[in-house]
Structure 1
C-alpha cells in the first residue's frame, strides 16, 4: 500500500485519486480515528493529506474486530482492515457478517478455497487474487444493503429499459 501513487485521477501514473469531497475525506478520517480508539493499530496512513484535493492515503488497520465500525460498515475510502484468522471456515463469518455486500476480495493459492469462498460470500462482485478489476462485459452491483440493481453488461442496460409485451388478434 505504501507504494501506491497518489495523484490526479486522470493521470495514468496515478494509482489512487482523490475522494469525492471534503465531507467524504472527513468521514473516512473519522472512521479511522474511531477504529484507533476501539483498539485497532494504524500500521500505515491514517491522516488526511494536505494540499489541494480531497486526498486520503492508503491506510492499513491491524487487529480490527467485527464489532468495530471500520469492519462493519462501508467506508468508501482507501482503508484496509486486517483481522488474523487460521482457516477459511474461521474467516467466512467475518467476511460475510454484516448487512452490506458490495464486493469482496479473496487472496489464496488454493483454487478449491477460492471457489468455496466465492460461492459462500454474499457479495455482488468477488475478485480472487486481485481487487477492483472491472470489465464492462460483467455486471457490477451489490447484495443486501449495498446498491440498487446492476451496472455494466446486459444487466446494466436492462435497468434503463422497460419490457412490454403486446399481443393482438386481428
Structure 2
C-alpha cells in the first residue's frame, strides 16, 4: 500500500512540475489566470492556452482571411492507345458417366454419355482507339491572408474541394474562412 501511495504522490508532483514548465513562451499576455474565451480562469497547463486542442488539430483545418480564389481548368489532349476486345471460344467435350447396382453375379453397370460446354474468354488486341488524356486535373484554389492567425503569413495558397471553392466565392474578400485543404499550394 505504501508503494502505491508513493507512486501516486510522485506522479502528481511530476504532472504539476511539467504543467508549470509548459507555460513558457506560448503563455498568454495577460498573465497566468487569463481566460481562454470560456469564461473560467484557472492555473496549471490546461487553463488559458493559446494552442488549439487536440480535436482541432486532428482535422487539419486551416483558417485565415480570404484573399483570392483561382480556378484552374483541366488540361487534356487527344491520344491513342491499343484497343482490346474480349474474344471467347466455346469448347465441347464428351463426358462418360456410369453407375452400378446389385452385387455378385447380379451386378449391373449402366453407362451413358453427355456433352459439356465450356467457354473461355481472353482480351486480345484489336487496333487502336482514341481517348482523352488528362495532362493536368481540374483544381480549385483559395488564398488566405493571416493564415493560421499569423499576421506575417499572407498569400498562402491551398487546393480545396469544389464546394469549399464555391463557398469562398460567395463570401466577401477578407472574410474569415476555416476549411480543410486537399493540398498545400496551387
Range of TM-score over shorter length? under 0.3
- Identify the structure with the greater strand proportion: 2
Tell me the TM-score normalised to structure 2 length.
0.17
The higher-RCO structure (CA 8 Å, 6+ apart) is 2
- Identify the structure with the greater helix proportion: 1
Larger gyration radius, structure 1 or structure 2: 2
